[in-house]
Structure 1
Amino acid sequence: LTDAGIQVKAATLAADAKGGLLRLTKQEDQLPAKDVVRKAMGDDYVVALNLAQTTPKWLRSIGAHPMKLGLDLSGGVHFLLEVDMDKALDARLKVYEGDVKSLL
């Protein structure tokens, strides 16, 4: 793939060594990568295109899953985290204040 100018973001092999997943840096590299991998692996293997989810494990653990949008659209998860820093710092300082009082 490197010789073909295709950047691989990550490569994993299934635990049973019967499958694997290549994550590419650019989505438009999928078709050229498929051809390169198919030629390298031969006819004994199936090379299929996929948009594998990239939702982090911690986000999936709170119930966030990719949106199902149909065949013509790409699904995904949009996550926006806003933090009120003043409030968060005040809360943390109160915890520290309590810790100091209990230690003294």
Structure 2
Amino acid sequence: MNNDGIVVKYENLEYKEAIMHAYHVLSLYGRTKKHLQKLFPDPNDSEIEWLRLRTKVHEMIIAQHLRFTLVVLQQAEAADTAPEPIGRGVEEAANGAKEEEKPVAAT
């Protein structure tokens, strides 16, 4: 789609659905960009390269470049086939730190 919300190309969904996604995606992208500019006043720090949204059923990837916005809507992978996260999670790190701090009982 172009940045005015006009759908240029779409596959595997109805035109009305493509228009609906275009409207919501541009709205989300605009609001996200606005809030990032508030959080990070430096323009280099507040640029968005792409957004990735994932639910249990679908995954949406959004990338904007010059006059066009690319939106990819696909079925999300099953939880058991999803890639492992890189590094330890917050809970794992917190639990690991607690285990390391436990005193060893003298015998």
Q: TM-score range by the shorter chain?
A: under 0.3
Greater relative contact order structure (CA < 8 Å, 6+ sep): 2
**TM-score, normalised relative to structure 2:** 0.26
> As a proportion of its length, which structure holds more strand?
2
Give the alignment's TM-score, normalised by structure 1. Answer: 0.26
